[in-house]
Each structure stands twice: as structure tokens, then as C-alpha cells.
Amino acid sequence: MVRKRHRWPWIVAGSIAFVLLLAAVGIPLLGAQALLTPHHGMTTAAGEVIALTDDEVTLSKTAAGERVGTYGLVWDTAAGPQTGAAIVGPVSASTADSVTRPISSIQGDLPVGTKVLLNPNIWSGDPQSALGIPFTTVDIQGQLGSMPAWQVDGNGSTWVLFVHGIDGLRQSALRPLSTIVDAGLPALIISYRNDVGAPPSPNGLFALGETEWNDLESAAQYAVEQGATEFVLYGDSMGGSIVTQFMHQSEYADRVIGMVLDAPVLNWAGVLQNQADRLYLGAFSSLLKLAVSWRGGIDLGVLDELDQTETFARLPILLFQGLADPLVPPAESQQFADSLPDAQYVPVAGAGHIQSWNVDPQSYESKLAAFLAQFS
């Protein structure tokens, strides 16, 4: 009697192997594409409005709605997408299903039931409309074309060059801008390739700082033409990667006399590992790094500042880092600061990514003012 061979174990095994192969290839590629594709948004869903008074808003409870600190609130209105805006302060009351926060500067209707988004950028306007600070919009001519920037006048020839992070906007600079102006320093708040209003990169993707530093160099050249002789570089998130790459490669690096970093990306490989671990996908972390390198044509080793700290040894550096940052590992920021002779590390409990100002504006501004005083 001839025994039948059962094919189903091989079919099941083959199916499982195919699914695992798809996961091993698909997850890293999707992750790389999501990271490198510009989206131009920093907001997070924060529930919907349950009640509103002249000075308080009650929202359905979400993780974003419970965040410590002061934030911008934005929402869609009948007039168009995200045309409503307000400022919400720290949580004043909480129940099992809701959070209540003080609200001010409401622009647009905010009826009960409106879904809202939390924005670490408190203000959505420009220096004049948000803070009453005069400014000029200028065009910086870069490698790829014209890039808009905000120029704020000050005293002397030491300029602050502010560089926002991945998918960010120039409005990120509005949080520390009053402190910079009070220090009397001229400021240039730049945009770079793939930003809103700026030209795209040749492949339409972020290069995580490896090429964007060229746009900062164009801004530095513009500032020199306007009379700048020295620079304080200010970078948050990927802006930290851009300013550190500038220090390695720009002809204007020797004019930099100080740096302010806020939740800076100092090692993209560490960020990718951290994200994979947070999502319980640590087994895919090596493939994710390879996918990012391949998809973006990026050398992650070049972007590892933890192994290149000698470049920064001559500089006074102020580094803010939220200890609840889900993107940048705080341990890497501290390691970077601890390896330098004149770096001040400021950990902020409860602060998420680039949210140290939001959690404690007075402390942030006090430390920033003291740091900038040496350049005034």
C-alpha cells in the first residue's frame, strides 16, 4: 500500500515563510519611506471638545490632550482645513474621560464636538502677528533655488541662525525668539529643501541633514553679505543634525562661536533603533537602518555625532532634552554633552520631543538668556 504524502504542512510552512519574508522586507521599507517623505505636520490628535467657556476648554481624554505644558490647539472649521487656532495651558482638571485646560487667543469657531490637534508650536503666524516682533521675509538663494527666511534685526554682527527639525516649520523658532531678541542678537530663521515654499530635493526625500546643511551654508553666506561676522547656531530635532553637519563641512564653520540644541538628532542610527524598540520591532532595526540608507542614499555613519565630538570641543553649547522624548534617546544627548568641556545639558522631566519650552517656558527662557548673554 502506497502512503499518501500530506502536502498541507509544506503549504503552511511555505506560507509562514512568505509572510515572514514580506514582513522582513516590507516593514523596514515602509518605515524608511515614512521617515524620509516630507509631510509638513507636527500636530497630534487631542480628542474633541466636550465643553468650552471664555477661559477653559474640556477635551475628551487622550495621551496628547494630557501632555504637560502649554501648546497650540488647531482644528478644521467651515472656512477651511486647520483655520482655527488657540493656546491651551497646563491641565487644570482631569476625570476618567476628560481633561480641562485654560484656553486663550481663540481664532475661529470652536463648537462642542470639534476634533482638535495639539501643536508644540504655540503660534501659527509670523514674528509680527504672533509676538509683535518686526521682521523681513527674505529669499536665500541655495543650491536648489530660492528658500524663504525670516530676518529679525538686532545689534552687532553675531547672528543666530535657527534651523527647525524634520517636517517642521519656521514657527518652531517663535518660542525662543523673544529671548533671542531681548539678547539683542540679529536672527535668521531659515527654511531648507523640502520645506513649504522651498524647492524639493532631487529625489523628493529628506537626507536627515547629510545634504540639508548646504542650505544652512547658503543662509550663512547671505548673513555674511548682510554684515554678520560670527554665528550662534540653533537647531531643534533634525535641525541639530543639520547644524552639526554644517560644523564638519561648511567653509563658515570657523565663524560659529556657540550652539543651542533642542532635542537634537545626534545619531540617526540610535533614533531608528529606539523607534524599532518602542514598537516591539527590534528584530527589524538593522534592516530598517539599511532601508533608510538605501532609500535615501544616506550614510548613517557620517551622521553619528557621538563619534565626532572633537569638532565641537571649542564651542559653548546649551542642550535642552525632554526626558519623555519618544524620538531622540535622552541618553545620547547627555552622552554628547558630557563628552564636551563647555556643554550645558538641561534635562526636562515630562517633556516630549522639542517640548522643553512648552513644559517650562520660564526656566527655558532663563537658561537661554543666560547663555546668549555671552554673545551680546
| Pair (178, 319) in one structural domain | yes
What residues contact 337, with CB distance under 8 A and at least 6 apart?
Answer: 317, 319, 343, 344, 345
Higher pLDDT, 166 or 81: 166
Give the model confidence (pLDDT) of 191-232 as tens digits.
999 999 999 999 999 999 999 999 999 999 999 999 999 999
Give the model confidence (pLDDT) of 330-356 as tens digits.
999 999 999 999 999 999 999 999 999
pLDDT band at 312 (very low <50, low <70, confident <90, very high): very high
pTM over 0.75: yes
3-state secondary structure 59-88: EECCCCCCCCCCEEEEEEECCEEEEEEEEE
What is the spatial distance between Cα 117 and Cα 334, in angstroms, rounded to a whole number?
31
| Pair (98, 183) in one structural domain | no
In a domain, 22, yes or no: no
The CATH number assigned to the domain holding 324 equals: 3.40.50.1820
Task: Using the predicted structure, report yes or no on whether residue 10 has a pLDDT greater than 80.
Answer: no
What is the spatial distance between Cα 250 and Cα 267, in angstroms, rounded to a whole number?
19
Single residue among 92, 119, 146 that ends a domain in this structure = 119
Give the model confidence (pLDDT) of 92-141 as tens digits.
999 999 999 999 999 999 999 999 999 999 998 999 999 999 999 999 99
What is the spatial distance between Cα 154 and Cα 296, in angstroms, rounded to a whole number?
38
| Pair (247, 212) in one structural domain | yes
| Pair (86, 211) in one structural domain | no
Give the model confidence (pLDDT) of 251-286 as tens digits.
999 999 999 999 999 999 999 888 877 766 667 778
| Pair (114, 143) in one structural domain | no
pLDDT at position 102 is 97
pLDDT band at 26 (very low <50, low <70, confident <90, very high): low
Higher pLDDT, 92 or 19: 92
